[in-house]
Structure formats: C-alpha cells, structure tokens
C-alpha cells in the first residue's frame, strides 16, 4: 500500500499519460471521475443522472435540476459569472467553462476525470 508523497506522485504521473488538450477556466474547484452526459439542447428538460459529468455548450434554468445531481459540469461557453458557474459553486460541483470542442471530442458514457482545480480534462 502506497501512502503520502509516493501515492501523490504516482497519481500525478498516471494522470499525465491520459491528459487531453481540453482545457478551460475553473468556475468551481474540485476533481471528479464520472461518465459523460452530453446535453446538446440545454433549452430542453433533461432527466437527472446522479454522478454524471454534464457536457454542454451552455446551461439554462431548464436543466438546473440535472446540474444539481451531476458530479461535474463542463461548458464550451461561459465565464466565472455564467449560469453554470453560479450553480456549480452553490452546490459545490467541480466545473470548467470555456472549453472549446467538448461536444465534438467527448462521447456519451465515456469515463473522464474532470480536474477543475487545474481546468483540465483527462481520459480515464
């Protein structure tokens, strides 16, 4: 069993091997692993899926319930004061905004690691 500094070094090294070029602005910090749920139309209600990482262009109040059940949120558009950022901070959900091409690059049910502390996305 590894502990302490060695465990952190191994975790960081394994993360570096799976890093993608998908990066954005940290809207709410945290690190989470989960399955992607792509929302192409944020104006249409979505059934909440606990523990998913929601990936969308932007968020609206229509999908707010789904956002509160998510483990993480990734938006292609937005900044520190956008709807997704406010919801994420209120519910302590890791969130990155301003991430270009996520809808093209990520797939539904794909397992990813969202490191909102660094504003990066990793393949799991």
User: Active-site residue numbers?
Assistant: 83
Tokens of 15: 């993360």
88 and 25 Cβ atoms separated by less than 8 Å: no
Maximum C-alpha span of the chain:
48
Helix, strand, coil share of the chain (percent; to 5):
30, 30, 40
* DSSP-assigned states of every residue in 14-65: HHHHTEEEEE-EEEE--EEEEEEEEES-TTS-----TT-EEEES---GGGHH
């Amino acid at each position: 069993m590894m502990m302490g500094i060695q465990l952190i070094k191994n975790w960081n090294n394994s993360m570096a091997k799976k890093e993608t070029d998908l990066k954005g602005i940290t809207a709410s910090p945290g690190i989470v692993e989960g399955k992607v749920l792509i929302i192409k139309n944020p104006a249409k209600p979505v059934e909440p899926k606990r523990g998913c990482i929601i990936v969308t262009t932007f968020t609206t109040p229509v999908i707010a319930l789904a956002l509160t059940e998510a483990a993480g949120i990734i938006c292609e558009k937005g900044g520190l004061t956008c709807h997704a950022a406010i919801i994420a901070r209120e519910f302590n959900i890791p969130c990155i905004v301003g991430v270009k091409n996520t809808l093209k690059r990520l797939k539904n049910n794909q397992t990813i690691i969202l490191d909102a502390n660094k504003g990066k996305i990793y393949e799991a």
